Amino acid sequence: MGEQWAFYFDANKCIGCHACTVACKNQNDLDPESATWRRVVQSGQGEFPDYEEISVSISCMHCEDPPCETVCPTGAIEKRDSDGIVTVNRDKCIGCHYCAWSCPYGAPKFDGDNKMQKCHMCLGKGAGEGYGSPAKKHEDDGGEKPACVDTCVGGALKAGPMDELTKEATEDAVNRATKRKGNVIIETGGPTVTFESESD
């Protein structure tokens, strides 16, 4: 495979403003009241007064070996060789929701036409616009930053090839990303982070 693109999220810089969620909805013309491809969740541990809570911004993890791709009966989901980004060919989707049931992170969403939609790392604009798009480019090659990254006021969110992002991450964060087999590196500096699925 070519490069594996990934997200890097630093909870120490996140101010929990949800600008990333809003930017994603704007970029992809998503209904403000429904499908959310990127969400900000709270993670906490301990008991008052020794209680810590952090905000974590998550979307599709573009998994190493995506269970959504394995269960899709029509082959609509593809983990691309060129950049490891997981895309959906919505022309092939039959709306069976198998992908949603198999995804541990609640990433696949369904809205209006009942076809799967989720983060495509801003390969294109709009649901399904990742499929068939050219490989993700670096900014200095003329590529654009994903909208959520571009809008993050705290500078908490980044995107790029995994091997570049791991160079700036702590060992703990890289270990967590490797264990989860999702291509998202999360710096916590605090509580252990777990994610809960979110219903549509």
Interacting residue ranges for ligand SF4, rule: CB under 6 A: 23-24, 27-28, 37-38, 59-63, 66-68, 71-74, 76-77, 86, 88, 93-99, 103, 105, 107-108, 116, 118-122, 146-148, 182
Q: Which residues, other chains included, contact 185 with Cβ-Cβ below 8 Å and sequence gap of 6+?
A: 6, 7, 8, 9, 162, 165, 166, 169, 173, 174, 176, 177
Contact 165, 3 (CB under 8 A): no
- Which of 17/96 has CB closer to ligand SF4? 96
- Which of 104/190 has CB closer to ligand SF4? 104
Q: Which residues, other chains included, contact 26 with Cβ-Cβ below 8 Å and sequence gap of 6+?
A: 147
Minimum CB–partner distance for residue 18 and ligand SF4 (Å): 12
- Which of 62/176 has CB closer to ligand SF4? 62
Minimum CB–partner distance for residue 49 and ligand SF4 (Å): 35
For residue 161, what are the β-bridge partners?
Answer: 5
Contact 173, 185 (CB under 8 A): yes
- Give the residue among 131, 121, 56 at the shortest CA–CA distance from 91: 131
Minimum CB–partner distance for residue 44 and ligand SF4 (Å): 23
- Which of 67/190 has CB closer to ligand SF4? 67
Contact 185, 178 (CB under 8 A): no
- Which of 171/196 has CB closer to ligand SF4? 196
Reading the block at residue 74, the tokens are 């029509």
Minimum CB–partner distance for residue 117 and ligand SF4 (Å): 9
Minimum CB–partner distance for residue 167 and ligand SF4 (Å): 21
- Which of 64/174 has CB closer to ligand SF4? 64
Minimum CB–partner distance for residue 112 and ligand SF4 (Å): 14
Report how far residue 193's alpha carbon sits from residue 18's, in angstroms, rounded to the nearest whole number: 18
Rg, the chain, Cα only: 16
Q: Which sign, positive or negative, has the C-alpha torsion 163, 118, 108, 97?
A: negative
